[in-house]
Amino acid sequence: MEKRIITFGVIGCGLMGKEFASAAARWCHLTGVDFEPRIVAVCDANPTAAQWFQDNVPSVARAYSDYRELLADDDVEAIYCAVPHNLHEQIYIDIIAAGKHLLGEKPFGIDRAANEAISAAISDYPHVVVRSSSEFPFFPGVQQIIKWVEEERFGRIIEVEAGFWHSSDLDPGKPINWKRRIATNGEYGCMGDLGLHVLHLPLRFGWKPASVCALLNKIMEERPDGQGGMAPCETWDNAILACDVKTADQQFPMVLSMKRIAPGHANTWFIRIQGTKLSAEFSTKNPKQVASLPYEPGGQQAWHVVDAPYQSAYSTITGGIFEFGFSDSILQMWAAFCDEIVHGKEGMQQPFSCALPEEASGSHRLFTAALESHKTGSTVAIDWGNEG
Ligand SMILES: NC(=O)c1ccc[n+]([C@@H]2O[C@H](COP(=O)([O-])OP(=O)(O)OC[C@H]3O[C@@H](n4cnc5c(N)ncnc54)[C@H](O)[C@@H]3O)[C@@H](O)[C@H]2O)c1
């Protein structure tokens, strides 16, 4: 099959920039797609980070240290931008104004004002495809749960719980980095870093919190600064957000949690939906398994746990019995982004698109209200404006 090549530039060649390089390098994993990304240029303020691409990605022809030079590169059609949160606003706006499609990283701006400025740029350039990274919904078990929600299989929703939990920060000897500083990560702390992953599906399902009561927790006061001293650890480590969701015909509690210090959890993303007709659960802790409890009035309440087959949104060479993992979810997300660039939202090969800018903006509404809730010790109403 002839493939339409999309030329990409990468801005930010760190942890996530390299993940994209790896996904692009194994595009042959996907069957039946008529598009393919090709990384032709990279940019990082740190030349060593860019050098990794030059050493490992043969298609990279140019490396820049100033992203404006990359944006002036006419051979670049689309950009993946994975830089610290304080840089999102300016760099995303400049990418969009340069007319290049953007897969940006969450939280899409360090705070709500930055996010609103990015949203304004998106409105000014409607032909540019702008999406946010959020890979977990592409796990086959999650795709199954999405289908059940779309088919309205849950009946009346009793409650929803979703979270994203890390644990490496339990180690007090872990050195400080930009993700633990307000200037670079933002006032939201763990919410900005982990939160859109948790909110992406609830917002896609239309489950907007009408109010939030937040419990925010700073556990580590300081960390090694990498130069023999200690540096203050400024950001929220853990957040528990108790939300009251109101939809056109339902109202239910939704508890969202984002934790950097959840002992024993390396990268656990989960969603649990309880309903009067069906309940379902998925966690990356058991990435193959999806649990469901169908219920008929008076009938048995028994959980069914199945090994979800490797049946991804975009078909692959992998046999159905094999396991799906983090890098597979990244590859699927990239396929969705490239599909949308080439075929448009309505023409995509499968219907699940990457996280939308409106979903990123929704997360900012919630996190801003959560900060206020914690400060005032009260439940804070969330104004969804025209979107409500
Ligand atoms: N989707 C996910 O699962 C996931 C996971 C981790 C991080 N992230 C997000 O990805 C983004 C980057 O995080 P990371 O973990 O890759 O960080 P990182 O620190 O590993 O990489 C960031 C890179 O940006 C570079 N950089 C800094 N200033 C720059 C500038 N002015 N111009 C060009 N490059 C510059 C740094 O040198 C570094 O190489 C953040 O928004 C973060 O929230 C997403």
**Tens digit of each residue's pLDDT (9 = 90 or more) over 24-43:** 999 999 999 999 999 999 99
Q: How far is the CA of 364 from the centre of ligand 1 (A)?
A: 19
Residue 245 has pLDDT above 70, yes or no: yes
What size, in residues, is the chain?
A: 388
Residues 6+ apart with CB under 8 A from 192: 85, 106, 107, 110, 185, 186, 367
Q: Is 254 near ligand 1, meaning CB less than 6 Å away?
A: no
Name residue 140's amino acid. Answer: P
Predicted pLDDT of residue 200: 98
Q: Is there an atom of ligand 1 within 6 Å of 288 CB?
A: no
Tokens at 18, concatenated: 């390299």
Would you call 39 exposed, middle or buried from its count of C-beta atoms within 10 A (0-12, 13-18, 19+)? buried
CATH 3.30.360.10 maps onto the chain at 136-319+357-381
Ligand 1 midpoint to CA 325 (Å):
21
Confidence (pLDDT) at 52: 97
Give the CA dihedral 251, 304, 152, 365, nearest 10 degrees. Answer: 50
Pinpoint the alpha helices (H) of the chain: 15-25, 47-56, 67-71, 88-97, 112-124, 140-150, 182-185, 190-204, 326-343, 357-376
Residue 284 is encoded by which pair of tokens?
């990356």
Q: Does residue 310 have its Cβ closer than 6 Å to ligand 1?
A: no
Pocket test for ligand 1, best of 42, 44, 53 (most atoms within 8 A of CB): 44
In the chain, the amino acid numbered 81 is: C
pTM for this prediction: 0.97
Q: Is the pLDDT of residue 209 over 80?
A: yes
Question: Is any ligand 1 atom within 6 A of the Cβ of residue 199?
Answer: no
The answer, yes or no, to whether any atom of ligand 1 lies below 6 A from the CB of 333, is no
CA of 119 to the centre of ligand 1 (A): 21
Q: Which residue's CA lies nearest to atom 41 of ligand 1?
A: 105
Average pLDDT, the chain: 97
pLDDT tens for residues 322-355? 999 999 999 999 999 999 999 999 999 999 999 9
Residue 328: strand pairing partners: none
> Could you report the per-residue pLDDT of 41-68, keeping only the tens digit for each?
999 999 999 999 999 999 999 999 999 9
Domain 4-132 in CATH 3.20.20.120: no
Q: 1 falls in which pLDDT band (50, 70, 90)? A: confident
Q: Where in the chain is the domain with CATH 3.40.50.720?
A: 4-132
Nearest residue CA, atom 25 of ligand 1?
Answer: 12
CATH class of 136-319+357-381: alpha beta
Predicted confidence at residue 59, as pLDDT, reads 98
Q: How far is CA 312 from the centre of its chain?
A: 18
Q: What is the whole-number distance in angstroms between the Cα of residue 286 and the centre of ligand 1?
A: 27
pLDDT-derived band at 388 (thresholds 50, 70, 90) equals low
- At 68-117, the pLDDT tens digits run 999 999 999 999 999 999 999 999 999 999 999 999 999 999 999 999 99
**AA letter at 295:** Y
Count Cβ atoms below 10 Å from residue 65 Cβ, excluding itself: 12
- Tell me 353's DSSP state: P
- Binding site membership of 89 for ligand 1 (Cβ less than 6 Å): no
* Cβ atoms 364, 111 nearer than 8 A: yes
CA 259–ligand 1 middle distance (angstroms): 19
Q: Supply the DSSP string of 100-121, one letter for each residue.
A: -EEEEPTTSSSSHHHHHHHHHH
Beta-bridged to residue 6, according to DSSP, are 37
Question: Which residues, 6+ apart, have CB-to-CB distance to 205 below 8 Å?
Answer: 149
Give yes or no for residue 260 CB within 6 A of ligand 1. no
Q: Measure the CA–CA gap between 76 and 102, rounded to whole angstroms.
A: 11
Give the H or E element holding residue 270: strand 268-275
Do the Cβ atoms of 209 and 258 come closer than 8 Å? no
**Rounded distance between C-alpha atoms, residue 63 and residue 42, angstroms:** 5
Q: In a mutational test of the pocket of ligand 1, which residue from 11, 13, 16 has the highest number of ligand atoms less than 8 Å from its CB?
A: 16
